[in-house]
Amino acid sequence: MKKAKALFACGAAAVVLLTAGCTSKTVDQAQYSGFLPSYDGLESVDTASGQKALRWVDPAFNVANYDKLIFQPLRFYPTPQTTDRIGQQTYDDLLEYANARLGEALSQRFQLVGFSSGPRTLEFRGAITGVSASNEGLKPYEVIPVALVVAGAMAATGERDQNTELFLEGELIDTSTGKPVLRVVRKGFGKTLSNDKQAVDFADLKPVIDELTTDVMKFR
């Protein structure tokens, strides 16, 4: 009986430890890049596309009060490093596509103008702050001691499915005051990879940018 209780306790402990590592839907504070001047006041929200994001909005901000926007193209921050799994072409394709889609979406909501301040004008600045692949969180049927052992072994040998992830940070600034009116930090999930050897390419992360575009169009 004591042996059975001990085994049950070990199994329960394993469940707690491993489920605690399930994939978070929002960006952890340790993953903030430093691109934004401040991360104060960020709160978890559900976006129009059904994703999670961290967002702060000035209580007095009303997007209807603005009809012009200065679009600072997205950039990488910090400068990304190529690896065996993520090549420079993937980074280049991501940035080009993200700027094209985001610029198009914003142009449908605002008149895009040059680098000049004025009334009823916002400035957008943003960055892609990370591209990664991490082990999938446990599925419900895996949260039993025997399956946890198997899942742990698969992760150790690199055979477990991996999530592709794209991190973005951005803000809107009222050009007449120079003060921010909205800040957002976001982690989007692309296609699932079969193991930790599979390369991450543009097609894997393209859906994240498409979801971001949807949210820009529908934000009120």
State how far the alpha carbon of 183 is from the alpha carbons of 19, 37, 199, in Å: 30, 10, 32
Residue identified by tokens 């009303």 is 62
State the CATH number of the domain containing residue 30.
3.40.50
Average pLDDT, the chain: 81
What would the mean pLDDT of 52-70 be, rounded to a whole number? 96
Q: Which amino acid is at 189?
A: F
Any domain includes 97: yes
Determine the Cα–Cα distance for residues 216 and 48; give it in Å rounded to an integer.
9
What would the mean pLDDT of 121-140 be, rounded to a whole number? 78
Q: Which tops the pLDDT comparison, 193 or 140? A: 193
Cα dihedral angle (109, 182, 29, 99), rounded to 10 degrees? Answer: 30
User: Do residues 111 and 67 touch, judged by C-beta distance below 8 A?
Assistant: yes
pLDDT band at 135 (very low <50, low <70, confident <90, very high): low
Any domain includes 203: yes
Any domain includes 87: yes
Any domain includes 111: yes
pLDDT in tens, 100-120: 999 999 999 999 998 777 899
Split into its structural domains, the chain has a count of 1
pLDDT score at 64: 95
Any domain includes 100: yes
The domain of 38 spans 26-138+160-218
Q: Which amino acid is at 39?
A: Y
